[in-house]
Structure 1
Amino acid sequence: MANVAGKKSGLVWAVHLSVLVLVILWLTPTLGLFISSFRTADQISASGWWKALFSQEQNMVLRTGDPSTQKQEGDLYVIEGNVFEEDGSTASSAISAWGTSSLKISEYEPGQTAELKDGARLTVEDDGAYRYESPTEFKGRRGDRVFVTAETPPEFTFANYRTVLLSGSTTDSMAKAFFNTLTVTIPATIIPILVAAFAAYALAWMRFPGRAILIAIVVALLVVPLQLALIPLLRLHLAIGIGKGYLGVWLAHTGFGLPLAIYLLRNYMVGLPRDIIEGAKVDGATDFQIFTRIVLPLSFPALASFAIFQFLWTWNDLLVAKVFLIDATGDTTVMTNQIVELLGTRGGNWEILATAAFVSIAVPLAVFFAMQRYLVRGLLAGSVKGG
């Protein structure tokens, strides 16, 4: 029996396994989004991100050169080139089959010649080189379609990030949305921390009538859905002239974040050593001096843990931004709203959507990993000892 207390529980392996499963479930979508952001549109449509390191056989619709590139050789008009180069594709593997109709995409083998209408003939080699000849002049603005089945090697590109961050109207929108999100998130994280820290200290260490009732109200506010308060709060903001702007959204995030902040910080401050607080009061320190010089430095883990939650919630918020940042010109559009706009305007460009989504989560990931060591300490503080 003497050794029972020192033995590890037989369920330790289950705990470790559960943690491993949770980590895998959390990291898998993020990893998939990261890999997809470097893939081309063709590869994303052909295979999942988990196959990104392997060659893939895919069907491609390419075109011959347009009629303006034709040249005359005797009685024939000829267009020559490479179907991959004509399409701007970087695929370099051999073609296994090709065709000229969507109903028969594998009708011909590489090197075979297809007999087309009006006496035209098309030959496609395994490397994509083709010869298209006709007894009559080619007409039209675009080349004819060629359906090929080819083994494409893995390909990764920074073009998606250049499109999102460095070029065109998407750049202006995403860059502006990034700084707009910072403009919303940073004050909306700092303001509730400042207010909640003062309130938590008062509820933890100051004695005044109604303190218990205030604590109960704070706990009750934790279960109030923010959706119920959006419209009344917006009407209040419009009535006092701060709606549809940064000030309104800052105050909205502050109001919705304060109950959790006060509850979390109050539980942590209650668990601080009473001897330190009472010794400071005996030495003549005021409540403000005790708060700023003793309580705040000792409460940093709790402050950091709430900052993580508030920053992540505010950065990823769409609903509050939709309500309090209504702007037809897009000057106050945040990144979550911008991604929704991309879903509407570039719904088929999955590579652009994946890149934009990963850009939007990069900052929260950095914040989380930089401060995660304080998260558990802050959340568990006060769970045993209370005041």
Structure 2
Amino acid sequence: MSATVTTPAKKRTGAQSPPPPPSVRAPRRGDGSRRLRRWLGNGLVQAFLLLVGLIWITPVAGLLLSSLRSAKDSASSGWWTALTDPGQLSFANYAALLDNAGMTRAFWNTVLISVPTTVLVVVIAALAGYAFAWLEFPGRDWLFLLVVALLVVPVQVGLLPVAKLFGQLGLFGTIPGVVLFHVAYGLPFAIFLLRNYFAEMPREMLEAARMDGGGEWRIFTQLVLPVGRPAIASLAIFQFLWVWNDMLVALLFADSSAQPLTVELQSQVRQFGSNIDVLAPGAFLSLVVPVVVFLAFQRHFVQGVMAGSVK
């Protein structure tokens, strides 16, 4: 006699079947409108950025086209007419600009002022920023507080006293005098910026380097500077742009043989008024050099960010 085994029937419970995977799940109400709002939002942002870019690039394009047109064409019609008549464009104005002794001398004076100032500010600020961040010495906090306090001192306050001091030292009207003034007034912000950036570095990283026998100079040059390259590149960009575009300090401290491009362009406007064939190429040259420098340092800035992100 064989026995039959019956399995008990499963009790019916209130548990529901698992939800279908997302690939087969029915679309919910509102998904289409949400995607539409997201697409419209991105489109509006892109349209706004495009509009801002066009507004910014229009005067630059106008200056470029004006620098390539003759004085006769500039006096008779607007720069936008060159878009439909490219025959107006030529490099004769730039050839004449290179033959202008005043403009070429002013251009090289600007280079001799901007480059040494940027290098000195970056080097001194990097050394001082590392010292304020990681070295212990008496009065460190009070000295850094004095540096921060100098940030609120406007440049106009020191023009006359420094001019009197430079006159006594024989530096008034010279390129070294202009460089020293820019270095002195650029250091407080530079030290403040680099000190705060260096202070964010992990203490364990520097202590490990010291335990491996590294001195302070070696740690600074081989560890701190590579990691701090993004901040240093940003500081170099800002400092170069500030000095290159400055006219107030150079107008007061530089004589006719040491005046930069900004002062020379201002004097050209005052003397002749309508010599657009000289002013337009000179102004565009003054504009394009900082843009090229910015793009070059921007590449190093991105490389520094990527290198510093890999531990």
TM-score interval (norm. to shorter): 0.7 to 0.9
Query: In 2, are the aligned partners of 1:302 and 1:374 still within 8 Å (CA)?
Result: no
Query: 1:276 corresponds to which letter in structure 2?
Result: M
Of residues 286, 289, 295, the one that matches 1:360 is 286
Deviations 1:243-286 (A, max 9, x none): 22122111101011111211221122122233221101112222
C-alpha displacement of 1:16: 4.4
User: In the alignment, is residue 185 of structure 1 matched against residue 114 of structure 2?
Assistant: yes
How do 1:247-266 and structure 2 match up within 5 A? Answer: 247-266=176-195
CA distance in structure 2 between the partners assigned to 1:270 and 1:14 by the alignment: 40
Normalising by structure 1, report the TM-score.
0.63
CA distance in structure 1 between the partners assigned to 2:203 and 2:48 by the alignment: 38
The alpha-carbon distance between structure 1 residues 13 and 162, as it changes in their structure 2 partners (threshold 3 A), is: same
The alpha-carbon distance between structure 1 residues 12 and 287, as it changes in their structure 2 partners (threshold 3 A), is: farther
Report what 2:151 is aligned to.
Answer: 222
Structure with bigger RCO (C-alpha 8 Å, 6+ apart): 2
- Partner secondary structure for residue 272 of structure 1: coil
User: In the alignment, is residue 340 of structure 1 matched against residue 266 of structure 2?
Assistant: yes
Larger proportion of helix = 2
C-alpha displacement of 1:351: 2.8
User: In the alignment, is residue 234 of structure 1 matched against residue 163 of structure 2?
Assistant: yes
The alpha-carbon distance between structure 1 residues 353 and 54, as it changes in their structure 2 partners (threshold 3 A), is: same
User: In the alignment, is residue 40 of structure 1 matched against residue 40 of structure 2?
Assistant: no
Larger proportion of strand = 1
Report what 1:371 is aligned to.
Answer: 297
The alpha-carbon distance between structure 1 residues 240 and 295, as it changes in their structure 2 partners (threshold 3 A), is: same
Report what 1:176 is aligned to.
Answer: 105
The alpha-carbon distance between structure 1 residues 269 and 16, as it changes in their structure 2 partners (threshold 3 A), is: farther
Deviations 1:309-351 (A, max 9, x none): 111111111111122212xxx3222111111121123312223
Report what 2:206 is aligned to.
Answer: 277
Query: 1:340 corresponds to which letter in structure 2?
Result: Q
Report what 2:217 is aligned to.
Answer: 288
The 10-residue stretch of structure 1 (261-270 or 190-199) with the greater mean CA deviation from structure 2: 261-270
C-alpha displacement of 1:195: 0.8
Of residues 142, 149, 161, the one that matches 2:94 is 161
C-alpha displacement of 1:229: 1.0
How do 1:182-221 and structure 2 match up within 5 A? Answer: 182-221=111-150
Of residues 305, 309, 315, the one that matches 2:234 is 305
Deviations 1:35-70 (A, max 9, x none): 110112233233332332225xxxxxxxxxxxxxxx
The alpha-carbon distance between structure 1 residues 42 and 234, as it changes in their structure 2 partners (threshold 3 A), is: same
Report what 2:8 is aligned to.
Answer: none
CA distance in structure 2 between the partners assigned to 1:281 and 1:15 by the alignment: 50
CA distance in structure 1 between the partners assigned to 2:173 and 2:266 by the alignment: 19
CA distance in structure 2 between the partners assigned to 1:256 and 1:42 by the alignment: 44
C-alpha displacement of 1:155: 1.3
Of residues 72, 82, 88, the one that matches 1:52 is 82
Report what 1:134 is aligned to.
Answer: none
Query: 2:89 corresponds to which letter in structure 1?
Result: F
- Partner secondary structure for residue 197 of structure 2: helix
CA distance in structure 1 between the partners assigned to 2:122 and 2:45 by the alignment: 33
Query: In 2, are the aligned partners of 1:325 and 1:333 still within 8 Å (CA)?
Result: yes
CA distance in structure 1 between the partners assigned to 2:213 and 2:242 by the alignment: 41
Query: In 2, are the aligned partners of 1:268 and 1:378 still within 8 Å (CA)?
Result: no
How do 1:94-109 and structure 2 match up within 5 A? Answer: none
The alpha-carbon distance between structure 1 residues 17 and 221, as it changes in their structure 2 partners (threshold 3 A), is: farther
CA distance in structure 1 between the partners assigned to 2:137 and 2:222 by the alignment: 22
Report what 1:350 is aligned to.
Answer: 276
Q: 5+ residue gaps in structure 2?
A: 1-33, 306-311
Normalising by structure 2, report the TM-score.
0.77
How do 1:112-151 and structure 2 match up within 5 A? Answer: none
CA distance in structure 2 between the partners assigned to 1:320 and 1:24 by the alignment: 33
C-alpha displacement of 1:154: 4.7
CA distance in structure 1 between the partners assigned to 2:176 and 2:240 by the alignment: 17
C-alpha displacement of 1:193: 1.0
Matched pairs, number: 270
The alpha-carbon distance between structure 1 residues 374 and 220, as it changes in their structure 2 partners (threshold 3 A), is: farther
- Partner secondary structure for residue 52 of structure 1: helix
The alpha-carbon distance between structure 1 residues 196 and 13, as it changes in their structure 2 partners (threshold 3 A), is: farther
Give the RMSD, CA atoms, in angstroms: 2.8
Deviations 1:108-130 (A, max 9, x none): xxxxxxxxxxxxxxxxxxxxxxx
Q: 5+ residue gaps in structure 1?
A: 1-6, 56-152, 380-387
Deviations 1:123-152 (A, max 9, x none): xxxxxxxxxxxxxxxxxxxxxxxxxxxxxx
- Partner secondary structure for residue 347 of structure 1: coil
Query: In 2, are the aligned partners of 1:305 and 1:374 still within 8 Å (CA)?
Result: no
